[in-house]
């Protein structure tokens, strides 16, 4: 196992890509702590699935955009698990609309959850990793953070911001044995994409050279590599998992 006895925090691990990441980390021996804003049942289901793989797992109700919630959660994980070796900033929401129709509230909510949340977790976890002189931080960005997308000004801004944050954090922490990288998924099959009209899916597939949607496991497989010592000399990078969509 590549990550045996490691402890990973995965924000937003209740379903979709987040759940795939939790399970992949657990299969490699990592203990899992995830957080959720709503949907305790789904989060606890993820915990049960991880525990069935033989690791410790826990779900915590926390608002990633709330500084007090984040600080309390990180301190709890350190106290109960002894270390924090991997941080995956995955939690994200969408509030899609054309820019001229987008409300200020919808813009702020997406930025707060997707970008500020990652900042708060990274800041708190980094303090622990600096003392350990080791750690892996992985931000889940998006292909639209690289190429943009009409109707998603707020979401694209948050995901592009994660890329800038990744590179800055990588430069600040590299000398202490901590790496920070970003993964940018493309059109991945999730509960969210399952709700899209067939015509929309068909049009999206035309933009993908591989002509198919990706799976959560495709993202998780890359993340396992970045979280392991096999990627010890890789930091500050943005890797797309998109079937060639961003080329």
Question: Is 155 designated active site?
Answer: yes
User: In angstroms, how far is CA 196 from the centroid of its own chain?
Assistant: 22
Domain count, the chain: 1
| Total residue count of the chain as it appears in this document | 247
Helix, strand or coil, per DSSP, at residue 234 = coil
Q: What is the predicted pLDDT for the residue at 195?
A: 80
Active-site residue identified among 36, 81, 107, 155: 155
pLDDT digits (tens, 9 = 90+) for 198-223: 998 999 999 999 999 999 999 999 99
Q: What is the predicted pLDDT for the residue at 55?
A: 98
Alpha carbon of 26 to those of 36, 37, 115: distances in Å? 18, 22, 26
Asked if 131 and 78 count as a contact pair (C-beta separation under 8 A), the reply is: no
Residue 33 covered by a domain: yes
User: In angstroms, how far is CA 88 from the centroid of its own chain?
Assistant: 5
Rounded distance between C-alpha atoms, residue 110 and residue 168, angstroms:
21
Q: What is the predicted pLDDT for the residue at 192?
A: 76
Asked if 158 and 111 count as a contact pair (C-beta separation under 8 A), the reply is: yes
Q: Which residues contact 225 (CB under 8 A, 6 or more apart)?
A: 231
Span between the terminal Cα atoms of the chain, in Å: 34
- Domain span at residue 99 reads 7-241
Residue 223 covered by a domain: yes
CATH of residue 20:
3.40.50.720
Q: Which residues of the chain have pLDDT under 70?
A: none
Asked if 56 and 31 count as a contact pair (C-beta separation under 8 A), the reply is: yes
């Amino acid at each position: 196992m590549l990550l045996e006895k490691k402890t990973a925090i995965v924000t937003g691990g209740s379903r979709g890509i987040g759940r795939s990441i939790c399970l992949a980390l657990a299969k490699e021996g990592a203990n899992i702590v995830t957080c959720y804003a709503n949907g305790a049942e789904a989060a606890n289901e993820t915990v049960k699935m991880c525990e069935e793989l033989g690791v410790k797992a826990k779900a915590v109700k926390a608002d990633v955009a709330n500084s007090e919630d984040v600080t309390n959660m990180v301190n709890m994980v350190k106290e109960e698990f002894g270390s924090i070796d991997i941080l995956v900033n995955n939690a994200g929401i969408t509030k899609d609309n054309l820019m001229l129709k987008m409300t200020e509230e919808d813009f702020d909510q997406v930025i707060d959850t997707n970008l500020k949340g990652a900042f708060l977790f990274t800041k708190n976890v980094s303090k622990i990793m600096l003392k350990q002189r080791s750690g892996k931080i992985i931000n889940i960005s998006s292909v639209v953070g690289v190429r943009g997308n009409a109707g998603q000004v707020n979401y694209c801004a948050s995901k592009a911001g994660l890329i800038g944050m990744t590179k800055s954090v990588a430069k600040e922490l590299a000398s202490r044995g901590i790496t920070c990288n970003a993964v940018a998924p493309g059109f991945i099959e999730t509960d969210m994409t399952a709700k899209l009209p067939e015509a929309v899916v068909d049009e999206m597939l035309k933009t993908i050279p591989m002509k198919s949607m990706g799976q959560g496991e495709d993202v998780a497989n890359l993340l396992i590599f970045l979280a392991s010592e096999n990627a010890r000399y890789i930091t500050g990078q943005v890797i797309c998992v998109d079937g060639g969509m961003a080329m």
